[in-house]
A and B are shown apart, each in its own frame.
Chain A
Amino acid sequence: MSRVTLALRSPTSRRLLTSLAAMAVVALMTGPSGSATQPMVGPTGSFGEHVSIFGLFPGPRWLLFFLFALVMWGIWTFWLRRGTSLRAAASTLATPPKRAFAHRPVRWVFYVALIGVGVVFPHLVTSQYWQSVMVEQIAVFVLLALGLNVVVGFAGLLDLGFVAFYAIGAYATAWVTGSLPTPAPFGVHLNPFFAIPVAIALVMVAGVLLGTPTLRLRGDYLAIVTLGFGEIITIFANNLYGITGGSYGSGGVTGKHGIPHFSINLGPIHYRWTLNPVPYYYLILVFVVIFIVAFSLLEHSRVGRAWTAIREDEVAAESVGINPLKYKVMAFAIGAASAGFAGVMTAAQSIFIFPATFTLQVSINILALVIFGGMGSIAGVAVGAMVIQTGSMYLLHSPPSGYQPADLYMYLGALLMVTMIFRPMGLIPSRRRRREIVLTEAGEGHMNEVLSGENP
């Protein structure tokens, strides 16, 4: 081997090359976008465009990112040195003290305070934009993420078509309230409150129908089949003009009336939700709390333990009398329930629904919330959903130069990959999951089927 190749293979120069490559990718990601007439503007502009370098002097972008790469290389090299305080400080930050939290009263005070913050919060946010974002993009996605967490986090099944359940919930609401081109059941137009049980029942049935045949399959096949299922639901919603209104949305070509808002008419109490997002916020908040309580009870119940057992070693679980298919279908149906409920909320709140709201990208978005927050950790998933959705809505609201709304999925994809590589247990790991990952990586358990070299 020549001296040059040896030099390139030394760890230091490898780190330098990796830093350069990483920063080149970041330069592309943050650079200008190409167009039909000028498809090369993206790559050339990303490196050639002139910017202010650290606010000091003007220069081309490549110089800026070259400097970034050098900084990254420096930090990386420093990080790997033994005995530096950098690493110790980071690991202290990453593991917060858990002692106080083990006391039950402390925990309860924390939960009550959290709900208090949740109640006061909309009054601290005065911007109209952020109030509606809180409902449509944050609260609804917290619900969706909680549901997908049951499937991916608790049962360890990768569902890439989760948006289908969300869509079914929303379309069921439009159907029950008589807002679809197809007539409502029994010809009565109901208040969306009645849509909640109907939608949840429908999505759970859909979950069982989809799950019973497909959940026998291995994990990777399941992912593809659910992906196709999500696509098919969108294709149907887009093309069945007589039933769903097709691509025109729930109004259809003829312009059916919109989906009514929630209302309460109980004896002396009359209340009607309106376009104002704050009352919707409180309605969803109540259900988020209900779902969180229900799912965490479920996690620590017999069912939750069965899910963990199946996730960790399906064969062992089966040999101690757990029926894997039954519990997997259950996870599918229960997870779907919360997506169906989110669908009801979206439908009632947005008056008309369109197939374009329920694309595959939404499934990936929800998956990113769950993975980033921490698979199997309810707190993690909720926090992850809030952080990512706030971030993406901030980017939409005040985009930095060169950012287009569609770029979001590029960042979410990168986030999925980076999380899996550097912190597979997510932002706030569940204790069970962390232990599991550590054990598997130490070579225990049977989750590792990749490159085992044996025929299945």
Chain B
Amino acid sequence: MGAFGHFLVSHFATLRLEFWGLLVGGVANGLIYGMVAVGYTLVYGVLRLINFAHSEIVMTGGFTSYFVLRGVIGTSIPNGWATVGILVVGMVAGGVSGAVMAMLVERVAYRPLRRRRAPQLAYLISAIGASYFLFNLAGKEFGRVLLSVPQPYVNHPIFSVFGAPVQLYYLVIVIASAAMLLGADQFVGRTRLGRGLRAVAQDSETASLLGVDVNRTIALTFALGGALGGIGGFLLGLGTGVVYTMGFVPALKAFTAAVLGGIGNLRGAMIGGLLLGVVESLSIAFVQPAYIDVVAFGILVLVLLVRPTGILGERLGRAA
């Protein structure tokens, strides 16, 4: 057996030992990626462009819920219903601020360009500018250091999956993001506003002729994606703390997830997120932690080259 064979055997041994633990972490991360990916996929579905400033919406959600939690949580660690209440308050704060920030970005960085029918390159540059402006402004205002978010619970393992302990934090992520993803899916698929959104994604001119307010629908799209991104920011901040650059890497991975599942496809974003989270987490057994981000990026390049339409295919405008 050569050196490479030995490498594989030893790493697969690690993988077998750590499998369930890595899987649990991967699913939790993947659900957050999926939530953030919804923002990319919805905006792409309607405007045919990637919202480069989405990472800063995640950051906004993280910071807002940080300040809210800091205000709500006293000196003692809450438990029971108080914990649930605080988590809900944190999610609402993250979601609302994310939605507001997303609508602001649309209003300031995109709408003037849409009015002038600017070329696509202009949107990308304007959005990158917005992203850089926002996160550096946050860095200036709140300091360029990691702030740890006050914890609304004691993060101990509550049950185990095949011997791998599942911490309360992971359970919170799973419940919150599953609820949000289901909610978004139902909203786009079943409600009147969701129907308008799909109509604009399919054919904005016809939709506007049939009485859909295109500008309002675009704002709604940004708000919905922004709310999920903001809640994703809250969940991320809860685990790792908030810092002005916190949005960048998760958003890049969420974008990968959106492409992986098929951009413009809501369920694709969720599946892509889960898959990316799990694959990335399991790869910890094989690569050094410093190169984990390289794995996600490698997946992105591979998907773009081999199957740019993603797993479920681009399904712009159809029911979720």
The interface residues of chain A lying within 8 Å CB-to-CB of B48 are: 449-452, 456
The interface residues of chain A lying within 8 Å CB-to-CB of B11 are: none
Q: CA of A450 to CA of B290 in the docked complex: distance in angstroms?
A: 37
Q: Which of B44-83 contact A (CB under 8 A)?
A: 46-50, 52
A219 touches B124 (CB 8 A): yes
Cβ of A448 < 8 Å from any Cβ of B?
Answer: yes
Q: Which residue of B lies closest to A33 (CB)?
A: B140
Q: Which residue of A lies closest to B296 (CB)?
A: A228
Among A42, A220, A406, A420, the residue within 8 A (CB) of B142 is: A42
Among B134, B291, B314, the residue within 8 A (CB) of A235 is: B291
Q: Which of B109, B255, B301 has the most chain A CB within a 10 Å cutoff?
A: B301
Q: A158-B125, A454-B203 are in contact. Are A443 and B144 (CB under 8 A)?
A: no
Cβ of B304 < 8 Å from any Cβ of A?
Answer: yes
Q: Which of B139-153 contact A (CB under 8 A)?
A: 139-145, 147
Q: Which residue of B lies closest to A210 (CB)?
A: B301
B133 touches A417 (CB 8 A): yes
Q: CA of A367 to CA of B50 in the docked complex: distance in angstroms?
A: 18
Q: A29-B140, A214-B304, A219-B120 are in contact. Are A420 and B297 (CB under 8 A)?
A: no
Q: A213-B301, A221-B304, A449-B48 are in contact. Are A416 and B117 (CB under 8 A)?
A: no
A220 touches B49 (CB 8 A): yes
Q: CA of A422 to CA of B215 in the docked complex: distance in angstroms?
A: 21
Min CB distance B200 to A, Å, is 8
Mark interface residues in B93-136 (1 if CB within 8 Å of A CB, else 0).
00000000000000011001110111111111110111111101
B140 touches A225 (CB 8 A): no
Q: Which of A7-62 contact B (CB under 8 A)?
A: 28-29, 33-36, 38-40, 42-43, 46
Cβ of A329 < 8 Å from any Cβ of B?
Answer: no
Q: Which of A214-254 contact B (CB under 8 A)?
A: 214, 217, 219-221, 223-225, 227-228, 231-232, 235, 238-239
Cβ of A306 < 8 Å from any Cβ of B?
Answer: no
Q: CA of A224 to CA of B248 in the docked complex: distance in angstroms?
A: 12
Min CB distance B241 to A, Å, is 11
Mark interface residues in A439-456 (1 if CB within 8 Å of B CB, else 0).
011010001111111111
**Chain B residues bordering chain A, tally (CB within 8 A):** 62
A42 touches B252 (CB 8 A): no
Cβ of B29 < 8 Å from any Cβ of A?
Answer: no
Q: A34-B141, A217-B308, A441-B118 are in contact. Are A416 and B128 (CB under 8 A)?
A: yes
A220 touches B124 (CB 8 A): yes
Cβ of B213 < 8 Å from any Cβ of A?
Answer: no
Cβ of A421 < 8 Å from any Cβ of B?
Answer: yes
B290 touches A228 (CB 8 A): no
Min CB distance A200 to B, Å, is 25
The interface residues of chain A lying within 8 Å CB-to-CB of B205 are: 453
The interface residues of chain A lying within 8 Å CB-to-CB of B126 are: 416-417, 420-421
Chain A interface size, under 10 / 10 to 19 / 20 to 34 / 35 or more? 35 or more
Among A219, A235, A239, A407, the residue within 8 A (CB) of B140 is: A407
The interface residues of chain A lying within 8 Å CB-to-CB of B84 are: none
Q: CA of A418 to CA of B305 in the docked complex: distance in angstroms?
A: 34
Cβ of A409 < 8 Å from any Cβ of B?
Answer: yes
Q: CA of A39 to CA of B64 in the docked complex: distance in angstroms?
A: 12
Q: CA of A160 to CA of B205 in the docked complex: distance in angstroms?
A: 33
A239 touches B128 (CB 8 A): no
The interface residues of chain B lying within 8 Å CB-to-CB of A443 are: 117
Among B120, B128, B206, the residue within 8 A (CB) of A449 is: B120
Cβ of B300 < 8 Å from any Cβ of A?
Answer: yes
Q: CA of A364 to CA of B127 in the docked complex: distance in angstroms?
A: 12
Cβ of A437 < 8 Å from any Cβ of B?
Answer: yes
A371 touches B125 (CB 8 A): yes
Q: Which of A42, A228, A436, A453 has the most chain B CB within a 10 Å cutoff?
A: A453
The interface residues of chain B lying within 8 Å CB-to-CB of A160 are: 128
Cβ of A337 < 8 Å from any Cβ of B?
Answer: no
A448 touches B120 (CB 8 A): yes
Q: Which residue of A lies closest to B70 (CB)?
A: A39
A440 touches B300 (CB 8 A): no
Q: A220-B49, A364-B128 are in contact. Are A213 and B305 (CB under 8 A)?
A: yes
Q: CA of A454 to CA of B124 in the docked complex: distance in angstroms?
A: 20
Min CB distance B136 to A, Å, is 4
B122 touches A420 (CB 8 A): yes
The interface residues of chain B lying within 8 Å CB-to-CB of A46 are: 141
A35 touches B125 (CB 8 A): no
Cβ of B17 < 8 Å from any Cβ of A?
Answer: no
Cβ of A404 < 8 Å from any Cβ of B?
Answer: yes
The interface residues of chain B lying within 8 Å CB-to-CB of A417 are: 108-109, 126, 129-130, 133
Q: A416-B129, A417-B130, A417-B133 are in contact. Are A451 and B204 (CB under 8 A)?
A: yes
Mark interface residues in B290-311 (1 if CB within 8 Å of A CB, else 0).
1101100100110011001000
Min CB distance B296 to A, Å, is 9
Among B49, B132, B301, the residue within 8 A (CB) of A364 is: B132
The interface residues of chain B lying within 8 Å CB-to-CB of A225 are: 300-301, 304
The interface residues of chain A lying within 8 Å CB-to-CB of B305 are: 213
Q: CA of A177 to CA of B130 in the docked complex: distance in angstroms?
A: 41
Mark interface residues in A396-425 (1 if CB within 8 Å of B CB, else 0).
000000001011011011111111110010
A407 touches B136 (CB 8 A): yes
Q: Which residue of B lies closest to A360 (CB)?
A: B248
The interface residues of chain B lying within 8 Å CB-to-CB of A214 are: 301, 304
Cβ of A156 < 8 Å from any Cβ of B?
Answer: yes
The interface residues of chain B lying within 8 Å CB-to-CB of A406 are: 136, 139-140, 144
B117 touches A453 (CB 8 A): no
List 13 additional contacts besides A42-B142, A416-B128; criterion CB under 8 Å: A33-B143, A46-B141, A219-B124, A223-B50, A223-B52, A414-B129, A417-B109, A419-B129, A420-B125, A420-B129, A421-B112, A453-B203, A455-B316
Query: Can you list 11 A-B contacts with CB-CB less than 8 angstroms, sorted by A residue number?
Result: A42-B141, A46-B141, A217-B304, A231-B297, A239-B288, A410-B139, A417-B109, A417-B130, A417-B133, A420-B109, A453-B204
B residues lining the A interface (CB < 8 Å): 46-50, 52, 108-109, 112-114, 116-126, 128-134, 136-137, 139-145, 147, 200, 202-207, 252, 255, 259, 288, 290-291, 293-294, 297, 300-301, 304-305, 308, 314, 316
